[in-house]
């Protein structure tokens, strides 16, 4: 590990990347799992806003960011991603762990909740739950894999604004530029491109909300019942409904939910209500409450 960079190998030979922030010997490790088309940089605004005495590890799931692209697109699926995370945890060996998962990363967190034992103290799910809304799924499927080479960061920021404006109606130009720099990279030709493998779009073909899958995911959600849970929902999210959030809190018994005003899918987690609530959630876990 160098300058907080963790590079490790998957069981099938890919070089995978994670970024560590904060003291390595911290009592608590917060593992941050990003959404479908994002990467570890998605969590930098949140990490910079939270207490710096903890260790935060934000990963690049295979096919994203600085992790290798997989030559076999069929491996872009949750069970493979989770195995990669387990391999990382075997290296890091945290004694106390909290998961923060956004969208796809939240689904990964549900699977990990079932697999991890006493070291997992709690989970934060960001705009995701056992039931996903068809409108949101179709919107995401509509833009994933649409790769356009931009001549400048300004052009990339304008493109991001066009595709994401409905989720962040209060964003200004500076916000869109920061968003573009978290989700894009400069390629060898000097063009600005999205920072993920377009082949991940294969997993979204003909995607639809399926009742049998939903039932299985609700059953999987039960794995969170033995630990504190914080549910974050974007107030205008088209993927994660308020009804599902309420049902999750009711079934869990000791979960809390917060709504991020005038934000859709998915909150950045540096919004004031998120920073305040996540900090309080982590502090309580550190104190054993």
101 half-sphere exposure, CB direction, 13 A CA radius: 26
Q: What is the pLDDT of residue 288?
A: 83
Asked if 197 contacts 68 with a C-beta cutoff of 8 angstroms, the reply is no
Question: For 196, what's the count of Cα atoms within 13 Å in the CB-facing half-sphere?
Answer: 27
Question: pLDDT-based confidence at 3, cuts 50/70/90?
Answer: low
pLDDT at 204: 66
Round to whole Å and give the CA distance between 287 and 187: 45
pLDDT per residue over 191-237, tens digit each? 999 999 999 987 665 555 566 778 889 999 999 999 999 999 999 99
What pTM does this model have?
Answer: 0.95
> Mean pLDDT for the chain?
93
Contacts 24+ apart (CB under 8 A), 88-93: 88/6, 88/8, 88/16, 88/18, 88/57, 88/59, 89/31, 89/116, 91/6, 91/8, 92/6, 92/29, 92/57
**270 three-state secondary structure:** coil
Q: CA 100, CA 285: separation in Å to the nearest integer?
A: 13
pLDDT in tens, 116-149: 988 999 999 999 999 999 899 888 877 776 788 9
Mean pLDDT of 166-182: 97
Query: Please, what sign has the CA dihedral across residues 126, 230, 101, 2?
Result: positive
pLDDT at 1 over 60: no
The architecture of the domain spanning 5-133+208-286 is: 3-Layer(aba) Sandwich (3.40)
User: Where in 14-119 does DSSP place strands (E)?
Assistant: 15-21, 29-33, 55-60, 97-102
| pLDDT of 207 | 56
pLDDT in tens, 29-71: 999 999 999 999 999 999 999 988 999 999 999 999 999 999 9
Specify whether the CB–CB gap between 59 and 32 falls below 8 A: yes
pLDDT (tens digit per residue) in 233-260: 999 999 999 999 999 999 999 899 999 9
As a whole number, mean pLDDT of residues 6-29 equals 96
Which residue reads 């309420």 in tokens?
246
Q: Which two tokens stand for residue 126?
A: 């960001």
pLDDT of 255 reads 96
Mean pLDDT of 261-274: 98
| Domain locations along the chain | 5-133+208-286
pLDDT digits (tens, 9 = 90+) for 64-98: 999 999 999 999 999 999 999 999 999 999 999 99
């Amino acid at each position: 590990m160098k300058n907080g960079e963790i590079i490790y190998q998957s069981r099938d030979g890919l070089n995978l990347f994670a970024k560590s922030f904060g003291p390595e010997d911290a009592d608590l490790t917060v593992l941050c799992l990003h959404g479908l088309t994002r990467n570890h940089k998605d969590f930098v605004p949140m990490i910079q806003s939270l207490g710096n005495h903890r260790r935060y590890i934000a990963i690049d799931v295979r096919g994203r960011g600085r992790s290798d692209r997989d030559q076999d697109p069929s491996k872009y699926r949750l069970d493979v991603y989770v195995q990669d995370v387990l391999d990382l945890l075997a290296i890091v060996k945290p004694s106390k762990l909290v998961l923060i998962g956004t969208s796809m990363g939240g689904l990964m967190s549900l699977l990990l909740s079932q697999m991890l034992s006493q070291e997992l103290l709690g989970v934060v799910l960001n705009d995701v739950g056992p039931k996903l809304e068809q409108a949101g799924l179709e919107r995401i499927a509509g833009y994933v894999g649409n790769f356009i080479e931009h001549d400048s960061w300004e052009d990339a920021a304008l493109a991001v604004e066009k595709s994401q404006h409905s989720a962040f109606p209060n964003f200004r130009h500076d916000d869109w530029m920061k968003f573009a720099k978290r989700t894009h990279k400069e390629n060898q030709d000097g063009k600005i491109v999205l920072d993920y493998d377009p082949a991940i779009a294969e997993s979204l073909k003909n995607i639809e909300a399926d009742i049998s899958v939903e039932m299985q995911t609700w059953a999987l959600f039960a794995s969170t019942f033995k630990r504190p849970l914080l549910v974050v929902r974007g107030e205008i999210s088209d993927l994660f409904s308020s009804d599902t959030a309420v049902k999750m809190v009711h079934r869990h018994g000791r979960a809390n939910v917060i709504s991020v005003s005038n934000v859709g899918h998915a909150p950045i987690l540096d919004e004031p209500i998120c920073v305040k609530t996540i900090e309080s959630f982590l502090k309580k876990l550190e104190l054993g409450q």
